[in-house]
Structure 1
């Protein structure tokens, strides 16, 4: 049995609340079990220096955790004067995942930054951030189309992410902290709605795992992201209708 009592292929309860950050061009508060991440997209009519004059846009991300998002207080990285390696790695992952679903040429010389702030952490924060960030980005792009800044949505793929791992219950979907901290192997899958692979991060914590075990983790990730894609679409549809 899993600590939560969930089936091996069951996600934690997931919800996406749009419009939470009222001043952002697009925002989504995603809840996956005890993990909550606020994603807010900001639009700027300029691009980084390395893209000026090239006729294409840019999508990037920043990631951070509130001091009491975890069981024990973590110091603010701003107070330490620098970001940690984990923060850099995660925000680069989020940015890569979002750019994988955007036609940057069609975006034009516009930059969109998606800030992902972890309010509460209970495992899978990077996956929740990617899934929520896509919704925030999509809503920001919808606004640009409605304002006639863009002729059409420059979206080429819907992107979501989920964790899977090998535990005492076998291969399981969407690890919470209790499972993640004791898993013999865990992986994060970033996939598109058409079955494309954006990125897979997998690590054996103890002994190496087999190809067969990886295939089962991949299957579970496909099951999980299929459900997340539905939740994303529902959140966007409700926001647009409102």
Structure 2
């Protein structure tokens, strides 16, 4: 019997190696010392930063503070209502939170925050693929807002963001390599990766794998290269937009 593969999703307005349009607003939450609303294609993330004057238990007595992240998806972020994620041990949520925490910690000099904990909360308002990579981008934007405010208030004398860190998804749709997959593409990809990297092309973390049979080493390298290149392009756009936004 002949097996019929699903048709390849059609991209509108961009080629295979072009990320989706990105826009960001910072300072959107009046109660948080740092916040950002980021849109990547049709995926929307609200990220907020909270500074708590209490060290994480494993950081007591250390010379630097700690940064941790939490991730959640609103019930109508998707086509069908999803139950609220009240179980903190939800496997997917826990995995994404750990990715966000590692990515954002790697961007920060936490020595100015000794005996303090930075919380970055990323909430998915609308999901259309790439929610974890969009959360890394939104988290970075919210941290930029947070640090800018502290510097302007005289609470920090040096800029604590050491690396501009972003992320992007990349996958194989049939034989075609595409970056920044939306939901339709992600659901049909035979292999996909989430690449976390700096705006200078340094790799922080790669997460993903093959869905429909193994990939060759050459294909993996091509995915990784395309991913780091796309992160640099996205971060150049994000950094430009953040610089254009007047500090509060």
Distance 1:149 1:18 in 2: 19
Identify the residue that residue 190 of structure 2 maps to in structure 1. 184
Identify the residue that residue 159 of structure 1 maps to in structure 2. 165
Aligned residue runs from structure 1 range 46-195, under 5 A: 46-78=54-86, 81-168=87-174, 170-195=176-201
Q: Structure 1 or 2: larger helix share? A: 1
Distance 2:197 2:240 in 1: 18
Does 2:211 match 1:205? Answer: yes
Shift of 1:119: 0.5
Distance 1:160 1:100 in 2: 11
Distance 1:82 1:88 in 2: 7
Which of 44, 60, 70 is residue 36 of structure 1 equivalent to?
A: 44
Distance 1:34 1:106 in 2: 36
Distance 1:240 1:113 in 2: 24
SS of corresponding position for 1:3: coil
Shift of 1:2: 4.6
Distance 2:191 2:173 in 1: 7
Contact kept in structure 1, 2:50 and 2:120, CA below 8 Å: yes
Distance 2:245 2:63 in 1: 30
Distance 1:82 1:107, change over 3 A: closer
Distance 1:109 1:139 in 2: 21
Count of equivalent residues: 240
SS of corresponding position for 2:231: helix
**Where does the alignment leave 5 or more consecutive residues of structure 1 unmatched?**
none
Which of 12, 16, 24 is residue 32 of structure 2 equivalent to?
A: 24
Identify the residue that residue 12 of structure 1 maps to in structure 2. 20
Question: Could you tell me the TM-score, scaled by structure 2's length?
Answer: 0.91
Distance 1:108 1:139 in 2: 20
CA RMSD across the alignment: 1.6
Which of 219, 223, 231 is residue 229 of structure 2 equivalent to?
A: 223
SS of corresponding position for 2:245: helix
Contact kept in structure 2, 1:145 and 1:153, CA below 8 Å: yes
Question: Could you tell me the TM-score, scaled by structure 1's length?
Answer: 0.93
Shift of 1:89: 0.5
Distance 2:220 2:237 in 1: 26
Distance 1:105 1:76 in 2: 36
Distance 1:70 1:83, change over 3 A: farther
Identify the residue that residue 3 of structure 1 maps to in structure 2. 10
